[in-house]
Chains A and B, each alone.
Chain A
Amino acid sequence: MSIGELVTLAHGFLGVLLIVGTPWAMAELLALSSPEGVKRLKLVTAGLAVIAFLVSIFLAAPSYLVYYPPAKEVILKSPTPWAHTVLMEIKEHVGLGGPLVLFVVAFLVWYYNNALIENKDLRKLLFALLAVSLVVAFYEIALGTYIARIAPVR
């Protein structure tokens, strides 16, 4: 397995972890009633924020800037060049806000701490931000899966 494949595999794998971890955080928010629950929520949201930065910036950068260009050439010469000109262009930009959204969620959870248990409006805000992140993560995974089917990174 080449380094390019390894980096891109890690990018996709951590993207899937985001999709698994975000509903976990949403479930913790819905069931939040004790300081123990807040502790778990703090760990999950901090983990999600770190993973989001890894996926969208630190793994996406080498994957997209270094290892993707040869695949891009293949896609542009294929019968479906729009897999790059439309799908990849959307994918490379839509995901950039994700780490910020999950950082905001993690910060607010850590800052308000046990006060979250009594603050229903704040829990709704956090739930909504996580829901939007989840939808965008699904969108990104779907785009990436289709692009990789046409020309996987080597």
Chain B
Amino acid sequence: MSRPKGHGEIAAILLALLVASWLLTALVFAGDLAPPFKRALSATFGHHWIGKIVISYVVFFAVWLGGRAVIKERTLMSIRGWTWTTVLSMVLITVLMTLLYVGLHFAK
């Protein structure tokens, strides 16, 4: 009989999702508030949009795979805690990105 699966996988993959999502948000803000950074992303990846995808997705898989090895059966917080943290982060990120471009439009 196989051992019941613990909740370590939930912590590892949701931690990776949170880190990658907030990093993507930071890259978006940095790109639009600091033009030299956006130019550097474009020069490195061919287009700033591709740069943001590559960096955040690589970080997602790195944190996830690293987290699986380190976190193991620890959950860091309850599933309910992960649910609220992840959902609130996703909503906040969407609102922040929207406010960034609305704000930049009116600041011009």
Chain A: residues with CB nearer than 8 A to chain B? 57, 61, 64-65, 82, 85-86, 89-90, 92-94, 96-97, 100-101, 104, 107-108, 111-112, 115, 121-122, 124-125, 128-129, 131-132, 136, 139
Least CB distance, A46 to chain B, in whole angstroms: 15
Size of B's binding interface in residues, CB under 8 A? 38
Least CB distance, B73 to chain A, in whole angstroms: 14
Residue among A64, A86, A125 making CB contact with B10, cutoff 8 Å: A125
**CB distance A57 to B53 under 8 Å?**
yes
CA distance A96 to B31 in the complex (A): 15
The interface residues of chain A lying within 8 Å CB-to-CB of B71 are: none
Q: Given contacts A65-B47, A115-B4, A128-B83, could you give 17 more A-B pairs where the C-beta distance is less than 8 Å? A: A65-B49, A86-B101, A86-B105, A89-B104, A92-B49, A94-B98, A96-B52, A97-B24, A100-B17, A104-B13, A111-B5, A111-B9, A121-B79, A122-B10, A125-B10, A125-B82, A139-B94
Consensus secondary structure, chain A interface: helix
**CB distance A104 to B17 under 8 Å?**
yes
**CB distance B101 to A89 under 8 Å?**
yes
In the complex, 19 of the A-B residue pairs with CB atoms within 8 angstroms, ordered by the A residue number, are A64-B49, A65-B47, A82-B105, A86-B102, A90-B101, A92-B49, A93-B28, A100-B60, A101-B17, A101-B90, A107-B13, A111-B9, A121-B79, A125-B10, A125-B82, A125-B83, A132-B87, A132-B91, A139-B94
